[in-house]
């Protein structure tokens, strides 16, 4: 019995009322939010798993595409061989465009988490049009070097002559997944491709 007349009856009465509230709450929750049957739970889990597997496959395809795209801009070999190839590339372009290559300086290589950047500083002297063509050749979509910076100064000694200091970079990789996508013939710019 629930009675609040004496102190001795209060504690049992409060406990009985709390028990009734808990039981009513549990019954109300059970009625309003019924438990799903096992088939529905399994079907929902299976659909979620299928969606995750499709998403993982899409991410793998995107990663493979990115690796293949990166590989077209990479060089094979070590830093010394790549430096010699980059020098040959720059020399070929400068001689074709009648520009003098007055300096070629390798800079400290930079590790970019799986990709190694090999920066170079080059100095060109010649007519502005020829220097601009060399820059375009080095930074074209067919080139395996990236033009990072350009500083052009006109020469006071010879009219129509400019001196350009270019920062260029070549990239090699230690990542076997990316290296597997590098074309077997080496860089696709062994000879400079000119844009039409």
pLDDT at 190 over 50: no
Residue 185 lies in a domain: no
Q: Are 170 and 100 in contact (CB under 8 A)?
A: no
The reply to whether 53 and 83 lie within a common domain is no
pLDDT at 104: 93
What would the mean pLDDT of 131-147 be, rounded to a whole number? 87
pLDDT at 185 over 60: no
Domain boundary at 71, 101, 127, which? 71
What would the mean pLDDT of 176-184 be, rounded to a whole number? 62
Considering only residues 44 and 2, tell me which one the structure prediction assigns the higher pLDDT: 44
pTM above 0.75, yes or no: no
Residue 120, strand partner residues: 106, 168
The reply to whether 98 and 21 lie within a common domain is no
pLDDT at 145: 87
The reply to whether 83 and 170 lie within a common domain is yes
Handedness of CA 74, 147, 134, 80 (dihedral sign): negative
Question: With left for phi above 0 and alpha for psi between -120 and 50, is residue 21 left, alpha or beta?
Answer: alpha
DSSP assignment letter at 4: -
Residue 46 lies in a domain: yes
The reply to whether 91 and 153 lie within a common domain is yes
pLDDT tens digits, 55-107: 999 998 888 777 666 667 788 777 788 889 899 999 999 999 999 999 999 99
* Distance of alpha carbon 39 from alpha carbon 194, whole angstroms: 64
CATH of the domain at 173: 3.30.70.60
Its domain, for residue 30, covers 7-71
The reply to whether 95 and 156 lie within a common domain is yes
Domain count, the chain: 2
pLDDT at 187 over 60: no
* Distance of alpha carbon 164 from alpha carbon 101, whole angstroms: 10
pLDDT at 67: 67
The reply to whether 83 and 64 lie within a common domain is no
Domain boundary at 71, 93, 123, which? 71
Residue 39 lies in a domain: yes
Residue keyed to tokens 């995107």? 62
Residue 2 lies in a domain: no
What would the mean pLDDT of 149-170 be, rounded to a whole number? 86
Domain boundary at 18, 41, 71, which? 71
The reply to whether 47 and 119 lie within a common domain is no
């Amino acid at each position: 019995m629930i009675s609040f007349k004496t102190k001795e009856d209060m504690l049992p009465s409060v406990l009985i009322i709390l028990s009734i509230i808990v039981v009513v709450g549990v019954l109300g929750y059970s009625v309003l939010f019924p438990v799903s049957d096992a088939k529905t739970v399994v079907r929902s889990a299976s659909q979620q798993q299928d969606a995750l597997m499709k998403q993982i496959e899409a991410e793998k395809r995107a990663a493979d595409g990115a690796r293949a795209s990166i590989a077209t801009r990479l060089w094979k070999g070590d830093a010394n061989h790549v430096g010699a190839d980059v020098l040959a590339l720059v020399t070929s372009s400068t001689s074709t465009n009648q520009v003098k290559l007055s300096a070629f300086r390798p800079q400290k290589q930079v590790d970019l988490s799986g990709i190694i950047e090999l920066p170079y500083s080059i100095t060109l002297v010649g007519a502005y049009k020829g220097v601009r063509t060399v820059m375009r050749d080095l930074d074209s979509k067919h080139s395996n070097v990236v033009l990072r910076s350009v500083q052009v100064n006109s020469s006071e000694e010879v009219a129509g002559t400019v001196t350009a200091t270019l920062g260029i970079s070549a990239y090699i990789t230690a990542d076997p997944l990316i290296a597997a996508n590098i074309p077997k013939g080496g860089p696709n710019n062994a000879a400079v491709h000119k844009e039409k």
